[in-house]
Amino acid sequence: MSAVLEAPRAAAQGSVPIIELRGVSKRFSNPLDFAGRLVKRLGVKVREDVVHAVDGVDLSVRKGEVVGLVGESGCGKSTLGRMVAGIMPPSDGQVVWRGQDLTKLSGADAKRAKLRTQMIFQDPYASLNPRLKVAEIVGEAPQYHGLVPRGGLEAYVDDQLRRAGLDPSLKRRYPHQFSGGQRQRIGIARALAVQPDFLVCDEAVAALDVSIQAQILNLFMKLRRELDLTYLFISHDLGVVEHLSDRVVIMYLGRVVEEAPSEEVFARPNHPYTRALLAEVPRIEARKRVFAGVQGEIPSPLNPPSGCHFHPRCPFAFDRCRAERPALKQVAPGHRSACHLNDAA
Amino acid sequence: QTLTMGVGAPVTSIDPHYHQLSPNTAVAHMIFSGLTTTDGHARVIPDLAESWKAIDATTWEFKLRPGVRFHNGSEFTAEDVAFTFARVPNVPNSPSSYAIYTRPIREVQVVDAHTLRLKTAVPYPLMPTDLASVMILDRETHAQATTEGFNAGPMAVGTGPFRMISHRNGDRIEFERSDNYFGARPAWQRVNYRMITNDAARTAALLAGDVEIIDQVPTSDLAKLRNDQRLALSEITGLRLIYLSFDHSRTDSSPFVTDNDGKPLPANPLKDARVRRALSMAIDRNAIVERVMEGAAIPAGQFLPEGSFSYVPDLTPTRFDTEGAKRLLAEAGFPQGFRITLHGPNDRYPNDSRIIQAIGQMWTRAGVRTAVEAQPWTTFVARAGRQDLSSFLIGWGTSSGEGSNPLRNLTATFDRDKGYGASNRGRYSNPEMDRVLDQAMRELDDAKREALLQQATRIVFEDVGILPLHIQKNTWAMRKGLAHDPRADELTRAHDVRPASAAK
Amino acid sequence: MTVFLLRRLLQAAGVVLVMSLLVFLGVYAIGDPIEILISPEADQIERERAIKALGLDLPLWQQYLVFLGNALRGDLGRSFVFNEPALRLILDRMPATLELAIGATLAALIIGLPLGLYAGLRPSSPVSKGILAGSILGFSLPTFWVGLMLIMVFAVQLGWLPSTGRGETVTILGMRWSFLTRDGLAHMLMPALNLSLFKISLVIRLTRAGVRETMLMDYVKFARAKGLSPARITFIHVFKNILIPVVTVVGLEFGGTIAFSVVTESVFAWPGMGKLIIDSINVLDRPVMVAYLMIIVLMFITINLLVDITYSLLDPRVRLEGKS
Amino acid sequence: MSTTTAGAPPAAVPPAARVETPFRRFVSEFAASRLALFGLVLFCIIVLVAVLAPWIAPQNPYDLAQLDIMDGRLEPGSVGGSGITYWLGTDDQGRDMLSGIMYGLRISLTVGAGSAILACLVGASLGMLAAYAGGRTDSLIMRLVDLQLSFPAILAALMILAFLGKGILNVVIALVVVEWAYYARTVRGSALVERRREYIEAAQCLALPTHRIIFRHLLPNCLPPLIVVGTMQVARAIALEATLSFLGLGVPITEPSLGLLIANGYEYMLSGKYWISFYPGIALLVTIVSINLVGDQLRDVLNPRLKK
Amino acid sequence: MPASAAPGAPTLEVRNLRTHFLTRAGVVKAVDDVSFTVRSGKVLGLVGESGSGKSVTGFSILGLVDPPGRIVGGQILFKGQDLATLSEEAMRKLRGNRIAMIFQDPMMTLNPVLRIDTQMIETVLAHARVSREEARQRARDALGQVGIASPDERLRSYPHQFSGGMRQRVAIAIALLHKPDVIVADEPTTALDVTIQGQILAEAQKLCAQTGTALVWITHDLSVVAGLADDIAVMYAGKVVENGPVEQVLDAPLHPYTLGLIGSVPSRNRRGEPLRQIPGMTPSMLNLPAGCAFRARCPRAEARCAEPPPFAEYRPGRFARCIHPHEEAVAA
Ligand SMILES: Nc1ncnc2c1ncn2[C@@H]1O[C@H](COP(=O)(O)OP(=O)(O)OP(=O)(O)O)[C@@H](O)[C@H]1O
Ligand SMILES: Nc1ncnc2c1ncn2[C@@H]1O[C@H](COP(=O)(O)OP(=O)(O)OP(=O)(O)O)[C@@H](O)[C@H]1O
Ligand SMILES: [Mg+2]
Ligand SMILES: [Mg+2]
């Protein structure tokens, strides 16, 4: 069985990145209005609320690879995913798709690039338009973009549905008539219908029950083999990520803190945050264990700590951590981590 | 001892020289007095002046009543009259001042404390009539008087039968009997003068016993109130003529007259007296009076009701004759009639919008297909004044009670310098009539003047310069046990009301 | 808070300016006041004098600038009809309208809240359905018609209440109020009820909807899980939450009530601002119309501000700095 | 367990007898309330009467030639000069009240529905624009909405009508001016919520053009609250028109709406001629109540918050 | 330590509980024959998929099932007293006092418009005759107990000023105010992040051990149960299908559903290999088939499964609802 797995990974090693993020940042701000500026001028302290959702992230995904993106709520995973999928422009930095800067592409090329990257969403309820039938949901984009010949749409939609594990006879129904797992399959069929080669799965199984989750994860793996897909797999469930990914990227408060091949991360976590995370994950193998808990709350992205974002919760923090942002540095082949401890050692 | 009255029109100002409006005049009559005044039938009678005469063509002499005191005790003399005449044209901001009544006066000569001579440039027969509108103030008290001072109370000092105690703008005025009054003592120690502008509310207030007398009884309630044992009514034929005015200003097509296909007519048919007469014949005035006005009006053929100065006895209302109207129209070249829009206000005269609808019915039956459009007075009167309309309903109240007033204002040729035709909104013009009227206006002899005015009136109505409909009756309703002397000039005054038992 | 207040102030200034222009133009377009104001007896010369005296001979933009200049000095012009400062006239009438509107609002709360609470707590009981049906009726009845019916029944037929007008008043703070005297209250009862009819329905529905939604909330279930008594849950946990929409809407509606009193005041001959404005429209008393509308606008701005502040007091989640 | 590795078998079909469209579901939920159903039936009858008025009314009350003031203010059941029976009596012009009410309904409904539809078009477009464009456009439109909403409808309508003059069209315009803001606010509110939904992101991801996203994906999902506001506003518009007519600014007197009929009869109330304003009043009441009944149920059915 | 070794009678014993919802569409048998016991100081993990009836079971224990739901059968024995037959008033006296509950969504369980102190003090006063000051003192202590720093200041805050984890701790503190004998925790960490979940689990563990409170921990996450619970009850379609000590059930489940559930946990599978999955979908609770509800998805299904299987003790302390139970070790 494992051979099935190894093949694409081997292929992945040498090939060019299908997508590459270079110093990508995303800020959400609410600029001060006239009154706000006036008051500020008068010397009252008013702050423009700026959320650094993603803060200077470099990331590259090679063809055929599954990259897992892990992090706690609000750390910017979805935002990063959206930028990769091209539905949100970055505030800074470049998103490079097959060597071309996405933001600089012209109309037709941009559209093509956009279509080749599709997204699977977390909420199977909100991600389907409740007013369209399944056939319309799946068939709209291929028809609009002329990916299917006239008259061939029915059969094409049937194919997509079947591939996602749905009975095509259900295509005249509306989303609310399906269970969560089935809806997720509709979402997958919709994405596959425009023949992408890169899928961003944003918490795609988080809302599903364990037994259904397994079905969908298996579907992802099957599709990967059949269609030679590349995945950016966003999840907060380390178990899922560990199972699925070739490489894992760990984010904390808008920044990547560690990045390494899957086995490497789980075997030899480098960053204190990664270690804490791994320690806290409940595992079915660990019976009657004693939970400890990482100290402290997750800071607000509105008001992030200075230096290393993790320092207020880090048991090893020292002065430098409070002052200086640690850079992502190689600690082992293919393993990078952003921690000042690595310098000290 | 206390009388509560409900009046339909709001009093806007206590200053007797600020805004000429009948509710204001009514209240002014209660607080102040003029040199002359009018009785219930609008005949001029003495008030502060005991007598007057024209001593030459351009001089009027007034003998003033001695021993009259203002409410605050200060004495009334000829100086006060002179002071008053000086103040009248100089009331700041006045939108409708009383200066029109004093303008003919060139000079005021105070002969002695109780004799006064008024010089005019040209013979001015209407002087005593006009002066009934001018309330006399006290020179000492009112030297610095402002309108606000009157409204607030301190300046509301006159020689009238009542003193004002309080004034709640738009709501009520309270009066107390004045002991200084020179005339008949009013029956009421106190008067509560409430303004209830909504018709139904006013009737309801009477029915509920909140007020004891109301004016402007809505015609729709007349029948019910007449049958109510607890109530009594008083009624008098008024001085307000409701009439239709036609577009005389255009010889080519008039804006709201078209042929039967809706296309403009080449010439204005309303310029043709036959058409106007036909339209007059097509109207069943009795039906309007009976059905729409519910009896609160009399059909009219001229400006004033019988018994007025310059009334023309044989000028009767046009007889209703649909067939005759059709014949006349055919004669005028409109055998198939034409189309017209009749305009009118909907909030000004009793049943105004109902009357024009009824006329619309009648004209349509006579072959003139009529559309009807009623608008609020504010919009309507502006359009009428700009000669935007072809035919419209409007009214005229001749408070002076004699014919020169409507002749000058409504039917004399529009002439800024003479001040004639100011309300001639249809721009009717008849040189013959103008000539007779001019003559009358210089005639100091009452009998001769009346004959001339009658002649002018006849010219206007035989020509159907305006189309008279009816003259309104003024009605008051009160609880049983009260008596009221109705006034043709529509004024509602507390001293006209007394307990029914008390002799007049 | 400072930013919030300043923003509101700026907005208010903008709104007032825009409104003043709109109102001025609108009022100008309605008609020519001279035709209405001048005595019919007046001749052409007198007319011209009056036009000049009232400043109506100036071009429109000059009239507006004059108005604006005076307004900045707190002078909204003098009434053509009353020859008194328009502002004074309106302020003089304001207590009458205010007490009517406040009375109506209180009545709406006193009647509407309990009924709505009941209907929300027992949505399926016949009484609740009756309350709901009744509230639809309250929504649907035209105010003027109800007013007349009230007069017919309670004043004319039964003679229990005075039909129209304002009763005795007491002067407090230089303003006349009638709610402190028996007679005044008797006069106020019907118009206030008439005016509150719509609001009663509104409060019932808001309360009912609020209760139904709140009852589904986890925190209510949690409160029950804590073993709290039903009364405490209803009157503290649920009530405080529904008070937020109720206060907001009723507060915002307060302005509408003041405006709508135009109808009630004319039916009941209530000498308030509403009647003043209707009378002023009838005689095209422009300064009063403009001043009234300006005051209404200012009043709305104030009410909105107060509502927002109350809202933030009631709902701790709202911070006034919050972006709009 | 190895059988399952070949990929999931097509998922089982949930048992459902017939295809349940959102519309069918909506209908069945709506019909759950008998009161609402009653309201709907009532409303349909009213609309039918209004539409068919020219054919079923005994008289054309707008044709002055058919009226005779000699038949004015007849009691219900009287027989007029021309031999027709006035079942609900006549008004002061001799207008058959029954016909007057039927035609009046026509006017009132036209005004109500017309203004609601126009206001909805204007308001929805602006609201959509505000939600989608955001930024300055949004704040400009929303300030306008605030301005409009904070200004009392009745006053605004009074001013506008005083300005425009009478006439059905002008009444409609005035009502549109005072009502569009409700729609704009509603649409913007729901569009802002719907916009953040993932299906919109999915559509963006599929590189569908903006207009298609707005009109095919966003707008239909913003409709339910709009429908609710719409029904309520129709009722409101009818009532407002009646009030305006009552205050003397409304439709022309020769083509009275229900409100104007009431206003006309209002003066006869005290003299016992109740029918002139009573029957139109009842007709107005029934109309508004029926619309509100329907609207109420719509609000419950379409409100996602009350659904678990 | 095996559960049966615990001394004394069980604190809470649920026997054949049935809670049905009489909806217009039909009877929803949300809870249909659920039995389990919890002892003092022990944790029972109640697991199952979404809609399997876990929350309704929890609400039934506290008597908080809203119409159209109703407890139609079975017993809820709390220290020997049957809660199902208790009057509402008597039940209210127990709620929050002897039996407390914690909810899933910490964002929703605290009333947003009331201050924390109000919400805590009212709970104290609902069950104890103490002065306000004393009640406040207790609230302060409870907050300290769950590891909230500067409780005095925190008491004066509103819920929105707290993060999710903090709110959940406040909820736990409220549950702890009267040192209850039983706490029902309905997925209290599902909405929280991993590191925060760790904190809450640590708190829960500590409290259970210290106060001897019996804890019913509802979750759909087997991994959490594995680490926390002493016993486990697995629910499927309204029924408990397997019940027993955690280690035994997780290592060698009797019921094929439990087996499938454990099998589909990713970490129980070889990396990159397809997960073992349970085919098909959870059945609709509205029209459950007679007999074993799992049979349509069960690899062991046979004709006999159309008969309702008994809930029987197949091994000491281990119950299952299956006619062919056999321990099947889960491949690692
Ligand atoms: N449109 C937006 N406007 C303002 N702030 C935003 C917007 N979208 C996201 N954010 C903020 O950016 C930060 C990162 O959000 P993001 O959704 O990427 O987090 P996440 O890691 O996906 O979290 P989760 O696990 O909860 O989905 C959050 O603090 C969020 O509040
Ligand atoms: N008020 C209700 N009316 C009808 N059915 C209900 C009601 N409440 C719950 N149910 C049904 O009862 C069943 C069990 O629901 P419950 O909330 O206990 O599930 P759960 O196991 O807690 O699921 P989750 O993991 O999603 O919280 C579900 O099928 C649900 O549809
Ligand atoms: Mg996310
Ligand atoms: Mg649950």
Number of domain units in chain E: 1
Within a domain: E299 = yes
The yes-or-no verdict on residue C277 having pLDDT over 60 is yes
Q: What pLDDT score does B285 carry?
A: 95
Within a domain: D197 = yes
Q: What is the mean pLDDT of residues B246-267?
A: 91
The yes-or-no verdict on residue A281 having pLDDT over 90 is no
The yes-or-no verdict on residue D250 having pLDDT over 60 is yes
Q: Could you tell me which residue, C148 or B348, shows the higher pLDDT?
A: B348
Within a domain: D56 = no
Within a domain: A13 = no
The residue segments making up the domain with residue D271 are: 92-306
Within a domain: C63 = no
From chain E, the residues in CB contact with D4 under 8 A are 274, 276-277, 279
E48 lines ligand 2 (CB under 6 A): yes
Q: Could you tell me which residue, B164 or C16, shows the higher pLDDT?
A: B164
| Contacts across the C-E interface (CB distance below 8 Å) | 76
Q: What is the mean pLDDT of residues B396-404?
A: 88
Amino acid occupying residue B64? L
Within a domain: D55 = no
Q: What pLDDT score does A170 carry?
A: 84
Q: What pLDDT score does B464 carry?
A: 94
Q: Looking at CA atoms only, how far is residue E202 from chain C in angstroms? A: 23
Closest CA to E269 of A53, B72, D1, C259: D1
User: Partners of A284 in the beta sheet?
Assistant: none
Query: Worst-scoring range by mean pLDDT, A135-144, A279-288, D97-106, E95-104?
Result: A279-288
CB within 8 Å: A35 and C321? no
Amino acid occupying residue B459? I
Q: What pLDDT score does E6 carry?
A: 45
Name the percent of chain D lying above pLDDT 70: 90
Q: What is the mean pLDDT of residues A264-285?
A: 86
Chains in touch with C (≥3 Cβ pairs < 8 A): A, B, D, E
Q: How many CB atoms lie within 10 A of CB B1?
A: 8
CB within 8 Å: B218 and D267? yes
Question: Looking at chain E, which residue has its C-alpha nearest residue D12?
Answer: E280
Q: What is the mean pLDDT of residues E261-275?
A: 80
The yes-or-no verdict on residue D207 having pLDDT over 70 is yes
Within a domain: E300 = yes
Q: Could you tell me which residue, B474 or E271, shows the higher pLDDT?
A: B474
User: Would you place residue D14 in the very low, low, confident or very high pLDDT band (cuts 50, 70, 90)?
Assistant: very low
Query: How high is the mean pLDDT of chain B?
Result: 91
Q: What pLDDT score does C322 carry?
A: 41
Q: What pLDDT score does B32 carry?
A: 94
Give the CATH number, domain containing residue C116: 1.10.3720.10
Q: Looking at CA atoms only, how far is residue C42 from chain D in angstroms? A: 26
Cα of A54 from ligand 1 centre, angstroms: 9
Alpha carbon distance, N-terminus to C-terminus of chain A: 41
Q: What pLDDT score does E271 carry?
A: 75
Name the percent of chain C lying above pLDDT 90: 2
Query: Worst-scoring range by mean pLDDT, B366-375, D49-58, E321-330?
Result: E321-330
Cα of E186 from ligand 4 centre, angstroms: 7
The yes-or-no verdict on residue E332 having pLDDT over 70 is no
Query: Worst-scoring range by mean pLDDT, A232-236, A237-241, B401-405, E190-194?
Result: E190-194
E180 lines ligand 2 (CB under 6 A): no
Name the percent of chain A lying above pLDDT 70: 91
- Say which ligand is closest to the CA of E52: 2
Residues with CB under 6 A from ligand 1: A 28, 51, 53, 71, 73-79, 236, 301
Distances (CA, A) of D31 to A158, A216, B260, D37, D294: 36, 39, 53, 6, 10
Most confident range, picked from B421-425, C69-73, D275-279: B421-425
- Which residue's alpha carbon is nearest to atom 4 within ligand 1? A28
Judging contact as 3 or more Cβ pairs under 8 Å, the answer for A and B is no
The yes-or-no verdict on residue D147 having pLDDT over 80 is no
Within a domain: A165 = yes
Helices D275-302 and D219-246 pack at an angle, to 10 degrees, of 160
Of A169, A174, A218, the CB nearest to D21: A174
Q: What pLDDT score does A30 carry?
A: 72
**Residue C229 and residue C323: Cα distance in Å, rounded?**
39
Number of domain units in chain C: 1
Question: Looking at chain A, which residue has its C-alpha nearest residue C324?
Answer: A33
Residues E270-310: pLDDT tens digits?
A: 777 788 888 887 777 777 778 888 888 888 888 888 888 88
Q: What is the mean pLDDT of residues D270-275?
A: 80
Give the CATH number, domain containing residue D136: 1.10.3720.10
**Is D13 touching C (CB cutoff 8 A)?**
no
Q: What pLDDT score does A115 carry?
A: 87
**Residue B420 and residue C27: Cα distance in Å, rounded?**
30
Q: What pLDDT score does E317 carry?
A: 85
Query: How high is the mean pLDDT of chain C?
Result: 82
Q: What is the mean pLDDT of residues A323-336?
A: 89
Within a domain: C173 = yes
Query: How high is the mean pLDDT of chain A?
Result: 84
Within a domain: A2 = no
Residues A59-72: pLDDT tens digits?
A: 889 988 999 999 88
User: Would you place residue B316 in the very low, low, confident or very high pLDDT band (cuts 50, 70, 90)?
Assistant: very high
User: Would you place residue D22 in the very low, low, confident or very high pLDDT band (cuts 50, 70, 90)?
Assistant: low
User: Would you place residue C323 in the very low, low, confident or very high pLDDT band (cuts 50, 70, 90)?
Assistant: very low
Q: What is the mean pLDDT of residues A215-220?
A: 88
Q: What pLDDT score does C64 carry?
A: 85
- Say if residues D52 and D60 touch (Cβ distance below 8 Å): no
Q: What is the mean pLDDT of residues B328-336?
A: 92
The yes-or-no verdict on residue A41 having pLDDT over 80 is no
Number of domain units in chain D: 1
**Residue E108 and residue E188: Cα distance in Å, rounded?**
12
**Is C122 touching A (CB cutoff 8 A)?**
no
Give the CATH number, domain containing residue E44: 3.40.50.300
Backbone angles phi, psi at B126, to 5 degrees: -90, 5
The yes-or-no verdict on residue C250 having pLDDT over 70 is yes
Q: What is the mean pLDDT of residues A148-173?
A: 87
Count Cα neighbours of D199 within 13 Å in the Cβ-side half-sphere. 29
Judging contact as 3 or more Cβ pairs under 8 Å, the answer for B and D is yes
Q: Looking at CA atoms only, how far is residue C9 from chain E in angstroms? A: 28
Within a domain: D238 = yes
Q: What pLDDT score does B186 carry?
A: 92
Q: What is the mean pLDDT of residues E53-64?
A: 90
Within a domain: E250 = yes
The yes-or-no verdict on residue B194 having pLDDT over 80 is yes
The residue segments making up the domain with residue C269 are: 86-314
Closest CA to A336 of A1, A56, A58: A58
Within a domain: E68 = yes
Q: What is the mean pLDDT of residues E15-29?
A: 86
Q: What pLDDT score does E172 carry?
A: 86
User: What six digits make up the tokens of B128?
Assistant: 């005593």
The yes-or-no verdict on residue B218 having pLDDT over 80 is yes
Q: Which residues contact B156 (CB under 8 A, 6 or more apart)?
A: B14, B31, B150, B163, B164, B167
Chains in touch with E (≥3 Cβ pairs < 8 A): A, C, D
The yes-or-no verdict on residue A292 having pLDDT over 60 is yes
The yes-or-no verdict on residue D11 having pLDDT over 60 is no
The residue segments making up the domain with residue E55 are: 12-89+223-331
E47 lines ligand 2 (CB under 6 A): no
Within a domain: A37 = yes
User: Would you place residue A345 in the very low, low, confident or very high pLDDT band (cuts 50, 70, 90)?
Assistant: low
Within a domain: E167 = no
Q: What is the mean pLDDT of residues B230-235?
A: 92
E23 lines ligand 2 (CB under 6 A): yes
Strands A335-337 and A329-332: antiparallel
Q: What pLDDT score does D3 carry?
A: 36
Q: What pLDDT score does E189 carry?
A: 83
Q: What pLDDT score does B193 carry?
A: 93
Q: Could you tell me which residue, D140 or A257, shows the higher pLDDT?
A: A257
Closest CA to E16 of E76, E66, E59, E62: E76
Q: What is the mean pLDDT of residues A294-301?
A: 76
Residues D40-93: pLDDT tens digits?
A: 999 999 999 999 989 988 888 888 888 888 888 888 888 877 778 888 888 888
What is chain D written as a DSSP string?
A: -GGGGG-PPPPPPPP-SS---HHHHHHHHHTT-HHHHHHHHHHHHHHHHHHHHHHHSSS-TT-GGG--GGGTTPPTTEE-TTS-EETT-B-TT--BHHHHHHHHHHHHHHHHHHHHHHHHHHHHHHHHHHHHH-HHHHHHHHHHHHHHHHS-HHHHHHHHHHHH-SSHHHHHHHHHHHHHHHHHHHHHHHHHHHHTSHHHHHHHHTT--HHHIIIIIIHHHHHHHHHHHHHHHHHHHHHHHHHHHHTT-SS-TTS--HHHHHHHHHTTTTTT-THHHHHHHHHHHHHHHHHHHHHHHHHHHH-GGG--
- Say if residues A216 and A273 touch (Cβ distance below 8 Å): no
Mutate to test the pocket of ligand 1, among A27, A28, A234 (most ligand atoms within 8 A of CB): A28
User: What six digits make up the tokens of A105?
Assistant: 């592409």
Within a domain: D212 = yes
- Say if residues B217 and B6 touch (Cβ distance below 8 Å): no
Q: What pLDDT score does A4 carry?
A: 40
Q: Looking at CA atoms only, how far is residue C212 from chain E in angstroms? A: 13
- Say if residues E151 and E97 touch (Cβ distance below 8 Å): no
Closest CA to B402 of B293, B498, B329, B311: B311
**Residue A162 and residue A170: Cα distance in Å, rounded?**
11
User: Would you place residue D5 in the very low, low, confident or very high pLDDT band (cuts 50, 70, 90)?
Assistant: very low
User: Would you place residue C189 in the very low, low, confident or very high pLDDT band (cuts 50, 70, 90)?
Assistant: confident
Question: Looking at chain A, which residue has its C-alpha nearest residue C2?
Answer: A39
Q: Looking at CA atoms only, how far is residue C23 from chain D in angstroms? A: 8
- Say if residues E64 and E55 touch (Cβ distance below 8 Å): no
The yes-or-no verdict on residue D307 having pLDDT over 60 is no
The residue segments making up the domain with residue A164 are: 19-344
- Say which ligand is closest to the CA of D307: 2
**Is C236 touching E (CB cutoff 8 A)?**
yes
Of A121, A166, A187, the CB nearest to D10: A166
Q: What pLDDT score does B348 carry?
A: 86
Residues D220-232: pLDDT tens digits?
A: 888 878 887 887 7
User: What six digits make up the tokens of D81?
Assistant: 């000069």
Give the CATH number, domain containing residue A260: 3.40.50.300
Of D13, D203, D220, the CB nearest to A131: D220
Cα of E104 from ligand 4 centre, angstroms: 8
Q: Looking at CA atoms only, how far is residue C19 from chain B in angstroms? A: 23
User: Would you place residue D15 in the very low, low, confident or very high pLDDT band (cuts 50, 70, 90)?
Assistant: very low
Number of domain units in chain A: 1
Distances (CA, A) of C237 to A170, B279, C230, E101: 46, 76, 10, 18
**Is C217 touching E (CB cutoff 8 A)?**
yes
Within a domain: E151 = no
Within a domain: C44 = no
E285 lines ligand 2 (CB under 6 A): yes
Q: What is the mean pLDDT of residues A181-189?
A: 89
Within a domain: C155 = yes
Q: Tell whether omega for the bond before E180 is within 30 degrees of 0, i.e. cis.
A: no
Residues D158-197: pLDDT tens digits?
A: 778 777 777 788 889 888 988 888 888 888 888 888 888 8
Q: What is the mean pLDDT of residues B41-53?
A: 92
From chain E, the residues in CB contact with D5 under 8 A are 274
- Residues of D near A (CB-CB distance < 8 A)? 4-5, 7-11, 13-14, 16, 19-22, 25, 139, 197-199, 201-208, 212, 216-217, 220-221
**Residue B8 and residue B193: Cα distance in Å, rounded?**
11
- Say if residues E61 and E84 touch (Cβ distance below 8 Å): no
- Say which ligand is closest to the CA of A254: 1
- Which residue's alpha carbon is nearest to atom 25 within ligand 1? A73
The yes-or-no verdict on residue B400 having pLDDT over 80 is yes
Most confident range, picked from A282-291, C278-287, E228-237: E228-237
The yes-or-no verdict on residue B234 having pLDDT over 70 is yes
Name the percent of chain B lying above pLDDT 90: 64
Q: What pLDDT score does E1 carry?
A: 35
Within a domain: C54 = no
Q: What is the mean pLDDT of residues B247-266?
A: 90
User: What six digits make up the tokens of B193?
Assistant: 């003068």
E73 lines ligand 2 (CB under 6 A): no
